[in-house]
Chain A
Amino acid sequence: MSETASRYRDPAGETAFWRVILTLIAVAFLGIVVVLPLVTVFYEAFRKGSDAFFEAFQEPDAIAAIRLTLTVAAIAVPLNLVFGVAAAWAVAKFEFRGKTFLVTLIDLPFSISPVISGLVYVLLFGAQSYLGPILKSQGIQIIFALPGMVLATIFVTFPFIARELIPLMEEQGTGDEEAALSLGASGWQTFWYVTLPNVKWGLLYGVLLCNARAMGEFGAVSVVSGHVRGLTETMPLHIEILYNEYNFAAAFAVATLLALLALVTLALKTILELRYGDEIAAGRKH
């Protein structure tokens, strides 16, 4: 290349100097804000040695917390999955008045503090409520028990799957389904063999995000849990208790499990995006 190179600059790009500066800013910012906290979780967990780390999982309370977290997610995620698919079918495949309003309502939990999400169930089912005493006389306990924690989790993770599916199914239109119906398929067959395969990766993506949030939810669950050790403690709540008891090593040990869950979720999400990018493209926003 001759001396001509010196005066040429990419008209739609920054100079190399600014590219380096901006890249360094971005890397430094992400490093401090995102990477450092993640590294800290693992560092603190193993600081007292691996014995302390594995001890944390021998505790019956920790095992109970893990079990409860899995139970809550195992109930909340499928329920939101069914809702998400139904809502997406109604919203994306049909035109009706009030659709935008309905979508706004579905989004509502995103803009409500998790603490308020828990509070509303306490107000509805708690001891001081109208329903509380009635339920209690029937031997049903919702607040400070599993049902309340499941409800709070459902509330918080409510929009995830629907939000993923609606834009995707809207984008795909109704042509495929109409073709299937004209070929004699029943409604269920159409859904099962035509619609579902078209959105399966988007659906999986939504389930992943929903699950990650369900297992990690803290605020809403904390309000309705009542903090009964070994009974109404999910992993995030167990972490809080351990932390407040200054049992940092154990708190961070349990935290590593949730951090691993987050990392696996991210990895799967990234793989889905890379591999099936166009099939989930409509749902890149949270």
Chain B
Amino acid sequence: MKNWRQPSVLPGFGLTLGYTLLYLTLIILVPLAALVWRSTGIGWGPFWALAFDQRTLLALRVSFGAALIAAAINVIFGVVVAWVLVRYQFPGRRLLDAIIDLPFALPTAVAGISLAALYAPKGWVGQIFAPLGIKIAFTPLGIVIALIFVGLPFVVRTVQPVMAELDRELEEAAATLGANRLQTLSMVVLPTLVPAILTGFALAFARAVGEYGSVIFIAGNVPYVSEIAPLLIVIRLEEFNYAGATSIACIMLIISFVMLLVINMLQMWSRRRYSNV
């Protein structure tokens, strides 16, 4: 273990790495360890009972389900948006490109109340759907809307640079070989984007699962129906039910990590399959 680092003439390695590890441990690792430790203190039986409580299960289903749907929608439209921004020239393109990051910069609470006002039955968008009998705000549909808002930049910003690097010669080559545009896009362009699309999906999904601020205002928060898991954690905390809060948090962390692991593996597989690097 002596050669755990390559020698370098630059100074400050010990100081900076030491500080990094200390800060990381104090801010992130110790508190997370506290969560894990507290959850083990609950004991298996009560833990399962808390984690598989009907309300918890449904909250988890709402969180993960809505996040999945929102990420999928973001992949479809995010890819179109990225393509338009990378390939087409039109007035206002720069501005459009800049506002992609708005969901990232706008505080979630602001987005939350704004979306709620917009999609409420009397809001600008809500009143279009209200006569059709479609309620958006205060239903699971509203949660999906909020999560689409939150996840959009993740998809666009991961796919965009890869699109910009695409070699146009590949498309020209496909055309000279007789492929029409649709064939070129589906057989040549799309496969090379798959790893980036999966990454964007994973990021948008991960963010959406844990999202709280933008969702709670529009969700309606009806237990068993439109209550998301992070909100249930907050509710349990307000009830001083620390074991309940801890067990939901643990389940969320575990599911998120497993899903990210799966997506990571998928990504590695697709990178090997589609770009052979």
Contacts and interface: CB of A to CB of B under 8 A. Distances in A.
A36 interface: yes
B265 interface: no
A216 B110 contact: yes
B interface, by DSSP: helix, strand, loop or mixed? helix
Nearest to B82: A26
Contacts of B203: 286
Contacts of A111: 206, 210, 256-257, 260
Contacts of B234: 115, 222-223
A239 B113 contact: yes
Interface stretch (A15-23, A56-64, A133-141, A196-204): A15-23
Nearest to B257: A111
A273 to B, nearest CB: 9
A33 B149 CA distance: 6
Nearest to B232: A115
B13 A90 contact: yes
A11 B20 contact: no
Given A26-B85, A113-B211, A286-B154, A123 B113 contact: no
Contact of B106 (A9, A13, A87, A216): A216
Interface string B76-93: 010011011101101010
Contacts, number: 298
Contacts of A285: 157-158, 161
A213 to B, nearest CB: 8
A231 interface: no
A222 B112 CA distance: 14
For A44, A102, A124, A154, the residue with the greatest tally of chain B CB atoms inside 10 Å of its CB is: A124
B34 A25 contact: no
Interface centre among A102, A174, A181, A285 (most CB of B within 10 A): A285
A52 interface: no
A113 B172 contact: no
A70 interface: no
A116 B253 contact: yes
B10 A223 contact: no
Contacts of A37: 106, 111, 114-115, 118, 149
A258 B171 CA distance: 44
B138 interface: no
Interface residues of B, number: 100
Contacts of B220: none
A158 B26 CA distance: 12
Contact of B10 (A18, A119, A158, A177): A177
Contact of A44 (B103, B117, B153): B117
Interface in A257-280: 258-259, 261-263, 265-267, 269-270
Contact of B6 (A90, A96, A267): A96
Nearest to B8: A94
B110 A258 contact: yes
Contacts of A116: 35, 210, 230, 233, 249, 252-253
Interface string A72-110: 000000000011001101110111111000100110111
Contacts of B27: 151, 154-155, 158
Contacts of A124: 30-31, 34
Given A128-B240, A223-B234, A255-B114, A236 B23 contact: no
A145 interface: no
Contact of A26 (B38, B81, B105, B117): B81
Most chain A beta-carbon contacts within 10 A, residue among B34, B148, B246: B34
B28 A155 contact: yes
22 contacts: A15-B181, A19-B88, A22-B80, A25-B77, A26-B77, A29-B81, A30-B96, A33-B103, A36-B124, A40-B114, A115-B212, A124-B31, A126-B242, A158-B28, A178-B10, A181-B10, A181-B11, A190-B11, A216-B105, A216-B109, A237-B109, A240-B109
Which of B103, B168, B181, B260 has its CB near the most chain A CB atoms (within 10 A)?
A: B181
Interface string B55-95: 00000000000000000000001001101110110101010
